[in-house]
Amino acid sequence: MSAREKHWLKVWDEKHAFEPDPVAGKKKVFVTFPFPYMNAAVHVGTAFTASHLEFYSRFKRLQGYNVLFPWAWHWTGQPIVGMSKRLREGDPDVRRAFLELDHVPEQEVAKFVDPEYLASYYTKQSRKVMKETGFSIDWRREFRTIDPAFRKFVEWQYFHLREMGYVVQGTHPVVWCPFDKSPTGDHDRMEGEGVSPTEFNLIKFHLGEFALVAATLRPETIYGATNVWVNPDADYSEARVDGELWIVSSASLSKLSEQKHNVVPVREFKGSDLVGRYAMAPLTGKSLPVFPGRFVDPSLATGVVYSVPAHAPYDLMALRDIQEGRVQVGRQVKEEADKITPIPILSLSGYSRVPAEDAIRKLSIKDSMDPNLETATQEIYSAEFHRGVLSQSSGPLADLTVPEAKDKAVELIAKTERLAKMFELPEKVVCRCGTRCYVKILENQWFLNYSNPEWKAKAKLVIDRAEIYPEEARQLFYSTIEWLKDWPCARRSGMGTRLPWDKDWLVETLSDSTIYMAYYCISKFVNLEKVGPDSLTPEVLDYVLLGKGSPANLAKAARIPERVLRDLRTEFSYWYPVDLRNSGKDLIPNHLTFFAFHHAALFPEKFWPRGFGINGMITIEGKRMSKTKGNFVTWEGAKEKYGADAFRLALALTADGMDDADWRDRAAMDAKEKVDSVIPFVKKTLRSSADRKADGLDSWLVSSFNGRIAVASEAMEELRMRRASATVFLDIWNDLRYYLRRAGKPRRQTLTEVFNAWARMMSPFTPFMAEELNRELGGKGLVCQADWPAPDDFPVDDDAVLAEAVLGRVIEDARNVLKVVKGARSKLNVYVCSDEAKAFFLELTAAKQSKGNVGQVLKKHASLKIQPDRVFKLAYELGEDLLGKVVAGRGFDEFQSLSEASEFMAKELGIEVVVQKTGKQIHDPANRAKDALPTKPAFYLE
């Protein structure tokens, strides 16, 4: 941290510049950021998103608002506990990540075996780096989501949600880690991302008094079944399942019992013991032989499948293996197998009657252990599912499409009471803790009832009423609200708050973060020890947040002074609602929409969020940020490398709207150079300036500055930080450069005014440098507490704008001519049009616009011999804006203006320039002067 940064941080701190309290009658802005999760250091992505709020906050303060930008830390949930646990168990990867990627000192890592210590370490680090970056946060309100007082707040919320019927219980299959005793979400998996429980149909084939239970995803193929497969090497069991006698793989027994089946094992044996026996299929009543098939995975579902060789490549290949002697079997099995031919059950365009055969041939599959069988199966399955139609051989299923036949088959088999269901993971899933997961049916789990149509409608209203930046994001909210189903809101493990009515469950991370912004109004009092967690009873919170009850009575019961209670209510009613919540677009499908739902449920409309800011995701040098790939930039690292101001400016300049932001070292270095050179530039410029009367060029600079203020202000309002910062740091700078180049002697007073305002415009982005600059300019007070420049202080002078625009056009034209014309030249003659030509131009343009008498004008000025088309074309080229100024421009004398600029033109063009006004006695050897038009003088190059 530089001395300059330290100095200003101290000054801001001493002035309590960012610690706002309610001020009756003062307009307020309340901005919030979705608190970062503290299992790692904050990184440039966090900084990017948060920077929008930071810039906006500082901007709004300059506009005179009372601005609250608070901060908190998310500790709720599984990952912190999980990392800590893995460290305890000696996982080298976790340890290395702490040491090498986050640069945590060795002795600290040792203490990370305590999850709360781990989180507090990162919290401390993150707070430090954010402060040092100059974020204008009110740290008095800081909290962590496991603070006792915050828990009371969460309990209050859930108490009400349940009362309103928005928290309901349900039973659902989940991917379960038996070690963590917790559902295993996608991000908690070492293996099997994207895999979710799939419902298999269990079909009972009668085998004596037993049911040999085959699992299938394709019940519609039952009429094509030719035999049953078991894995001869695997263990199978007889067991009493829900009172029936089943034969299934031994591995499936525990899974069945996790899925609400009552399972009592009876006897275990090898699959080979089943080979050669016969099992009777439902619906067809056929007695099918049991064959050995090593392709059958005993760990998938029941480890028993039935064979449909016409449509299942695996089945066909396994059958061939037996028929063609690649697999040794007993004589009886071989004889039975030889009798079997595939039974086609559906027709499929583009394939023969036995599609499995086609696929096998296409992929040159040799036996039943060929890995290509998976591809073949996928292909056939997909084709049949979308285009297949069941044929007559399928009896009652005939003529149905595959999806229809599936439902019908399930219905028919269920009628015979030979159907059961089982959930299974189609692919292996391994939890991050290394444990293999399975499907568990979780009972009596708590859900937020987001599928409730009334709640949805209310959430939609929140979005309807809110400002969304950028507007394109609005649709994403609507889609999310539509799509959202009930959300499991409680878990068994991790850190957090227990459900007040069911202490076995902890409120899950996303679910405890929905209305917490309201708690910033309370946390200030908690941190100042004016109110303790025990006082935050539901009744007290009802008063503070909903205005219910009488403070006098409550004060006694809760043992807090009535004045404090009233202050709490005042604090909340003043700051709420949230005026702007900014986040990356990744939070729209969950957090931000939850935020809308819960505000809709709990608060009256006047407290619903007013604005949502959405930004894109960050990439590093064009690639996705990833810790494991080492493509990772921490907030601290970037701040240290470029300095706070440059880091901030680089963030601002990197992207607008929902575009993804690409963080590039090169761009940040440029920003650094820019920031570092502002003050030297200003000082040098002022040194070279003089006290003199304002001229046209000064008016031009002021006019231009007027436009810059307008653009920057509007962009700030819309959170278009790239546009805003580019205007301030690039466009204004360019204006100044032009001014300095063009001016004989820059005028001190004009520059001082502009620089003063410039410092204020820079201050949201580069507050340290802006304060420094303000001081250099002799400004009083702090620039962070000054006023945002008003356009009225920089009036527009149309004639001055026109003069510079014309000059610019003339120089550009002249450059063109000089570029094209070869050969020696010593002097450029510039002929400004005559008064009559100007009159002709104005009259003709007016006549054309008003559809007046063009012919009359032409006749009147016929002696000029100017083609009317040239006039029309020029008027068109000038555009409405400039043309308007030409028409209105009474004080603008083109000849005088260009004459005064002739030296400048000469310097720019590198050739002598002589400006003359078209008239009788002028130097015009090539007779060009007659062609001159307003804003378009004629040239002659000598």
Partner RNA sequence: GCGGGGGUCGCCCAGCCUGGUCAACGGCGCGAGGCUUAGGACCUCGUCCCUUAGGGGUUCGUGGGUUCGAAUCCCACCCCCCGCACCA
Hey, which residues between 13 and 42 contact RNA (CB under 7 A)? 37, 39
Q: Is the preceding omega at residue 577 within 30 degrees of 0, hence cis?
A: yes
Query: Which residue's CB is nearer to RNA, number 564 or number 679?
Result: 679
Rounded CA separation 816/811 (Å): 9
Rule CB under 7 A: choose which of 339, 366, 624, 629 binds RNA: 624
**Options 167-175, 363-371, 564-572, 779-787: segment touching RNA (CB under 7 A):** 167-175
In the window 889-908, what residues touch RNA (CB under 7 A)?
908
Q: Other CB atoms closer than 10 Å to residue 91's CB: what's the count?
A: 16
Query: Which residue's CB is nearer to RNA, number 65 or number 681?
Result: 681
Query: Which residue's CB is nearer to RNA, number 145 or number 227?
Result: 145
Query: Which residue's CB is nearer to RNA, number 673 or number 792?
Result: 673
267 — phi, psi (to 5°)?
-155, 145
In the window 415-444, what residues touch RNA (CB under 7 A)?
442
In the window 765-824, what residues touch RNA (CB under 7 A)?
810, 813-817, 819-823
In the window 451-510, what residues touch RNA (CB under 7 A)?
472, 475-476, 479, 483-485, 487-488, 491, 494, 508-510
Rounded CA separation 648/671 (Å): 9
Shortest distance in whole angstroms from residue 474 CB to RNA:
9
Q: If binding is defined by CB under 7 A, does position 238 make contact with RNA? A: no
Rounded CA separation 736/449 (Å): 59
**Options 69-77, 124-132, 279-287, 895-903: segment touching RNA (CB under 7 A):** 69-77
Query: Which residue's CB is nearer to RNA, number 239 or number 712?
Result: 712
Rounded CA separation 438/176 (Å): 5
Query: Which residue's CB is nearer to RNA, number 24 or number 820?
Result: 820
Shortest distance in whole angstroms from residue 581 CB to RNA:
14
Rounded CA separation 57/18 (Å): 10
In the window 911-930, what residues touch RNA (CB under 7 A)?
926, 928
Shortest distance in whole angstroms from residue 804 CB to RNA:
13
How many positions of this chain bind RNA (CB under 7 A)? 92
Q: Other CB atoms closer than 10 Å to residue 904's CB: what's the count?
A: 18
Q: Other CB atoms closer than 10 Å to residue 775's CB: what's the count?
A: 16
Contact 916, 922 (CB under 8 A): yes
Residues in the chain: 942
Residue 301: name the closest of 242, 379, 248 by CA.
Answer: 248
In the window 70-89, what residues touch RNA (CB under 7 A)?
74, 76-79
In the window 636-665, what residues touch RNA (CB under 7 A)?
656-660, 662
Contact 357, 344 (CB under 8 A): no
Residue 634: name the closest of 42, 5, 149, 19 by CA.
Answer: 42
Shortest distance in whole angstroms from residue 936 CB to RNA:
5
Q: Dig out the tokens for 809 from the structure.
A: 């056009």
Rounded CA separation 74/511 (Å): 12
Burial (CB count within 10 angstroms: exposed 0-12, middle 13-18, buried 19+), residue 267: exposed
Rule CB under 7 A: choose which of 92, 194, 350, 778 binds RNA: 194
Query: Which residue's CB is nearer to RNA, number 483 or number 501?
Result: 483
- What are the C-alpha distances in Å from 104 to residues 86, 99, 186, 249, 544? 17, 5, 27, 49, 41
In the window 703-742, what residues touch RNA (CB under 7 A)?
726, 730, 733-734, 737-738, 741
61 — phi, psi (to 5°)?
-60, -40
In the window 499-558, what residues touch RNA (CB under 7 A)?
508-510
Rounded CA separation 306/290 (Å): 9
**Options 4-12, 15-23, 157-165, 668-676: segment touching RNA (CB under 7 A):** 668-676
Query: Which residue's CB is nearer to RNA, number 20 or number 173?
Result: 173
Query: Which residue's CB is nearer to RNA, number 592 or number 702?
Result: 592
Shortest distance in whole angstroms from residue 146 CB to RNA:
12
Query: Which residue's CB is nearer to RNA, number 373 or number 878?
Result: 878
In the window 562-591, what residues touch RNA (CB under 7 A)?
585-587, 589-591
In the window 837-876, what residues touch RNA (CB under 7 A)?
876
Rounded CA separation 523/140 (Å): 8
Query: Which residue's CB is nearer to RNA, number 553 or number 816?
Result: 816
Enumerate the H helices of 237-371 as residue ranges: 250-258, 313-323, 331-339, 355-362
In the window 110-129, what residues touch RNA (CB under 7 A)?
none
Enumerate the H helices of 340-401 as residue ranges: 355-362, 372-387
Which letter does DSSP use for residue 549 in this model?
Answer: S
Query: Which residue's CB is nearer to RNA, number 114 or number 714?
Result: 714
Beta bridge partners of 487: 448
Beta bridge partners of 167: 448
Rule CB under 7 A: choose which of 3, 25, 90, 187 binds RNA: 187
